[in-house]
Copies of this chain bind each other. A is one copy, B any other.
């Protein structure tokens, strides 16, 4: 913890801060400058809120020195984590593409879409069985039947399955069918859910919340890691900004930033990140060029009749075109598809 005193802070004010730090268990190191006195505290920083010091008389600002996350930090695994899902490595030399419909709607839709994405080079099929929708009047998902269909399609086309868990009570059900459990953007700070997916062994894909900083994303990953599950994949899917032309603003710089701060793999979701089919291709290419370990893309065999998110789902032909483009781009960052 570093506490910077205001210009002109009095000796009793400085002493009061030192006393408080000592009471909290810090060893305090004082550095008196021409203008500002700085107090450095070594100790239980992660349990103390810097704001607690900032409201003390005479304090200009306080901040943590240590990152509030440890297990998610790069230092914990300098070589980088590769999450293994059967024979699919996420975070390794190959860019892993996960594709499929927003929601599972029926057997034909899943099988047809699976066949197309598998043939084009996807390694994982995605699909929602439980759909969180912002309006209570829209399609809410097929439930377990949807999971069963995903599994069947995946097995037939040699794919892995990723599907979302909406809350901690759904974990056993989803884990019975899926290879990777997805924690959605709106649940990024649902700590009960984070803790429970940390207590089971399947890999977890954790999406960045639309108002979450990169540090908060890593802190949410820390929740999962701290329960013993180290197979966490991060996902950038756009943040909320004043620009409303696209649904969200994809923060692709988060990819190299996460690579520097953390050892965990990070993929991108340009479908939710843009909300418009014609923006998915450019942003998918950009994400791979920026160093993403993979992509999560909505593809539907008939997007015009999709029950959800049709506007952002690619036609299978578009997905094939994208995969061809990615095969050109990946070598620029030392990867293959």
Chain A residues proximal to chain B, CB less than 8 Å: 2, 4, 6-8, 20, 29, 31, 33-36, 38, 40, 42, 46-47, 49, 51-52, 54-55, 60, 65-68, 73, 75, 132-138, 166-169, 186-187, 189-193, 195, 209-211, 213-216, 219-220, 222-223, 226, 239-247, 249-257, 260, 273-279, 282-283, 285-291, 304, 309-312, 325-326, 328-329, 331-333
Contact = CB atoms under 8 A, between A and B. Distances in A.
B254 A252 contact: no
Number of copies: 4
B213 A211 contact: no
A44 to B, nearest CB: 9
Given A249-B253, A282-B291, 17 more contacts: A7-B66, A31-B31, A55-B278, A133-B191, A167-B168, A169-B169, A187-B190, A211-B211, A239-B241, A239-B249, A249-B249, A250-B251, A252-B283, A253-B274, A253-B283, A256-B283, A329-B332
A257 to B, nearest CB: 5
Contact of A135 (B51, B219, B326): B219
Nearest to A284: B289
B33 A42 contact: yes
B213 A66 contact: no
A305 to B, nearest CB: 9
A157 to B, nearest CB: 26
A50 to B, nearest CB: 8
A51 B275 contact: yes
Contacts of A133: 191
B42 A40 contact: no
Contact of A31 (B40, B136, B283): B40
Contact of A242 (B49, B213, B326): B213
A40 B133 CA distance: 25
A8 to B, nearest CB: 5
Contact of A328 (B241, B273, B279, B331): B331
